[in-house]
A and B are shown apart, each in its own frame.
Chain A
């Protein structure tokens, strides 16, 4: 356990210090959401209707933005060799890195969501609903994105490829995330159904993501 704690501590520190990914994702999210009302115009009803979709899209792109460095940075500076030669199973290592990424790239997005909800004319309940769906859904984005991040290491300069591979895997999360938020705000569907599916997607990605990523990293050895 202390090995995983050491990895978690290192990844969080690297992300939070100068040049780390945590701030970049948050600034990107902020930019997208702040610009949207200017692009759409001062139609409050329209903003309110599109709000959840804008927040979700911003969160998804922001987490994709920092995801491609998840394994690539370690591969470039040689620490991936160290991770592979460790006595900790590679699957657990991958899962820990994903948790660290979520804590530094996913959680800050959720934290600033209430402030951004104001800009999109969302009331307290609607903002809470979006934040709740983000809490349930962003781990799925990280854990499925991790597979693409591991593939990007295998294929050198695979940054663009990451988007092509990861985006289709993230589409279900986006659909059910937005559906659950919209259901909570306008109805008529119940909030529970899409939200349960969203949680299921997250849980499934916890299982599949680390194993798939570890398998990709083992294939890297050529």
Chain B
């Protein structure tokens, strides 16, 4: 339910370790709402989301990364300062920020304030957030938006690596993800244009 309107109902799906789920649907179908619901950022009117085999004492939200439209960057802080906050605050297994910046190709501008980044670079920094802190579930909302072709290929590689380590990915997307994924379609089937 968003703003008193029922967005979707009767959704039932499962994602197992090492696999990805691509959520599709037209604009406004509720892809973002579904991701935010899984992340615990929206209450569900009915039903629940369960993570089997995670760390028992943590909620699902505490074991998930949510990569939304808004990238949580502080323009006044440098790339590295933003990334260190992403690593130190949320909680999880930390890894080396230099390696993460290398993986997304931002290591040369680590000292630059985030205000100077382009849309694609901001997106790359958000992706680096997934890498500096290990959490099993990645919730990605149109992750490849604003990324160039090379960036999309590199990101597909990072996702494949995450899946190979037994991670889960749920991604809302309009285009291909670049990795094998089952598809969940929200809303009415796409009508054929006459």
Q: Is there an interface contact between A85 and B84, defined as CB atoms closer than 8 Å?
A: no
Q: Is there an interface contact between A6 and B88, defined as CB atoms closer than 8 Å?
A: yes
Q: Is there an interface contact between B89 and A85, defined as CB atoms closer than 8 Å?
A: no
* B87-134 at interface with A (beta carbon < 8 Å): 88-92
Q: Is there an interface contact between A77 and B70, defined as CB atoms closer than 8 Å?
A: yes
Residues 66-85 of chain B, each 1 if its beta carbon lies under 8 Å from chain A, else 0: 10111111111100010011
Which listed residue (B39, B43, B88) contacts A222, Cβ 8 A?
B43
**B interface SS class:** loop
Answer whether residue A45 sits at the interface, using C-beta atoms and an 8 A cutoff.
Answer: no
Q: Is there an interface contact between A221 and B84, defined as CB atoms closer than 8 Å?
A: no
Cβ–Cβ < 8 Å partners of A84 in chain B: 40-41, 61
Please report the number of residue pairs spanning A and B whose Cβ atoms sit closer than 8 angstroms: 85
Nearest-Cβ distance from residue B131 to partner chain A, whole angstroms: 15
**A interface SS class:** helix
Band of interface residues on B: 20 to 34
Taken together as a complex, chains A and B put the C-alpha atoms of A7 and B82 apart, in Å, by 11
Residues 79-90 of chain A, each 1 if its beta carbon lies under 8 Å from chain B, else 0: 101111111100
Nearest first, the 8 closest Cβ-Cβ pairs linking A and B are A78-B70, A87-B91, A6-B88, A79-B72, A17-B76, A78-B72, A86-B90, A85-B61
14 contacts between A and B (CB under 8 A): A3-B89, A3-B90, A6-B85, A10-B81, A10-B85, A18-B76, A19-B75, A77-B72, A78-B72, A79-B74, A82-B89, A84-B41, A85-B40, A85-B66
